[in-house]
Amino acid sequence: MMLRVLLLTSLTLLMLELCGQSLDAKIEHLELQMKELDQQKEALASQVETTKLARIHRDLQKVGLPSENYIKHSALFLEYAEAYEQAKWVAHILTADVITGTAYRSNDFREDPLVTTGTAVEKDYFLKFPQEDGTYTYDGFGFDRGHLAPSADFRWSKKALSESYFYSNMSPQRPGFNRESWAELEGSMRGYIQDHPTTQLYIVTGPVLKEGLPVIERAINKVAIPEMYFKVILDLEAGQAIGFLMPNQKTTYPLISFAKTIDEIETATGLNFFNKIEKEVEIEKTLDKSHWFPETKKGDVEPIYPPSLPAGHFNTVQAKRHAKANKEITVCGTVVSTRYSRSGNLWFNLDKNFPNHIFSFYIAKKDLANFSFDPEAEFKGQVIAVKGKVRPADDAVMMQLLREEDIELYGAEKIN
């Protein structure tokens, strides 16, 4: 098509020259041809988008959704839970189109016309008061309108992105959760696609709904406030799946701490995901964290589960909260790496390796003489407890160890 247009344009220009037409006429003709090409390109782009949306519909139904009672939008499917005024689950597909997409936040929050019982509305989240100067003041109820299927996953389609702002795709999330750890999880999946551009991710997201949940009292529809949220992700091409179960609150724990098998998420939610795929049983009971978190291949481990620690002991994530307290605490974690600095100080990283380290401690060269054994040989790969004052160090925290008595084995289990 393009070649034919160019040939016709060349022939037309030649005829204009032979007829003695002016340069103005030539310019006018070329501009007309450009306009026609733009219109053809726009029409083709629309056809491509329509076809991609149709493929999403086909592929979502192909892997199996949690129920047959769902609503179909352009690029996401959902089942609405009227009693809680939010979706029970929302399913969508993340593809490499997100990398080059140019559509951005539309913020056109609105009711979902396909939910026959009605959805939540703006007044379930805040009140808006017009001012004389044409602006508004807002009285918020303390919760973000948190996307279940994130709008940024649809930035390749203005239509699909706009539909992600239906209130059926919103759930009341605490700001510290929605804007930090939840956003980090969403961003990590887009990062995965950038590293695996030939695949697509099947994603189902939702709140963990149960009787007795509190509600937003000032909301006109008394929207329920979930305590937990889930997200399950399937890379069918790689035969890998992962789930996440996260509390609706601000947290400083790394995402890997919330990783679960699909089976575990099904137990927590009562939903059945990806029930039409081959090897469903094997895929859903298996979790290869190193596939989704490549840094674990470097020897990183998860911080110790806080409730398992004795009183007065903290894991490496909790240690950061004590960086400005200027008092001694005991921090527990696994020694994943050690090194000697140029000045001769001996450094230890607990749980996470550099440059993703979260807690480090060191023994100054002059203080190594205080130890009756080789600390590096004694503790490398061990779960230990160290006592001292924690202080900030860029995005991590650190501690200086002065005496042999301030370090001991917390457990004898070595990392693999």
Q: Does one domain contain both 215 and 281?
A: yes
Among 294, 325, 350, the domain-final residue is 294
Q: Higher model confidence: residue 297 or residue 169?
A: 169
Share of the chain above pLDDT 90, in %: 72
Handedness of CA 332, 335, 336, 341 (dihedral sign): positive
Strand-pairing partners, residue 72, are 77
Q: Considering the domain boundaries, does residue 259 fall inside one?
A: yes
Distances 407 to 274, 297, 348, 388, 402 between C-alpha atoms, Å: 48, 27, 12, 9, 9
Determine the structural domain holding residue 239 and report its residue range.
66-294
Q: Does one domain contain both 132 and 264?
A: yes
Q: Does one domain contain both 104 and 163?
A: yes
Across the chain, mean pLDDT equals 91
How many domains, in total, are found in the chain?
2
Handedness of CA 355, 360, 365, 369 (dihedral sign): negative
Q: Which of 70-79, 286-295, 374-383, 388-397 has the highest mean pLDDT?
A: 70-79
Residue 28: the pLDDT is 86
Phi then psi dihedrals of residue 111, to 5 deg: -65, 150
Pairing of strands 407-411, 383-393: antiparallel
Residue 320: the pLDDT is 86
Residue 416: the pLDDT is 39
- pTM of the predicted model, to two decimals? 0.78
Assign 406 a pLDDT band (cuts: 50, 70, 90).
Answer: very high
Q: Does position 414 have pLDDT exceeding 50, yes or no?
A: no
Residue 190 CB neighbours (<10 A): 16
Q: Considering the domain boundaries, does residue 36 fall inside one?
A: no
Q: Does position 413 have pLDDT exceeding 60, yes or no?
A: no
5-55 residue pLDDT tens: 455 556 555 555 555 568 888 888 888 888 888 888 888 878 889 999 999
Q: Higher model confidence: residue 200 or residue 311?
A: 200
Residue 6: the pLDDT is 52
Q: Does position 358 have pLDDT exceeding 60, yes or no?
A: yes
The answer to whether the peptide bond before residue 175 is cis (omega within 30 degrees of 0) is: no
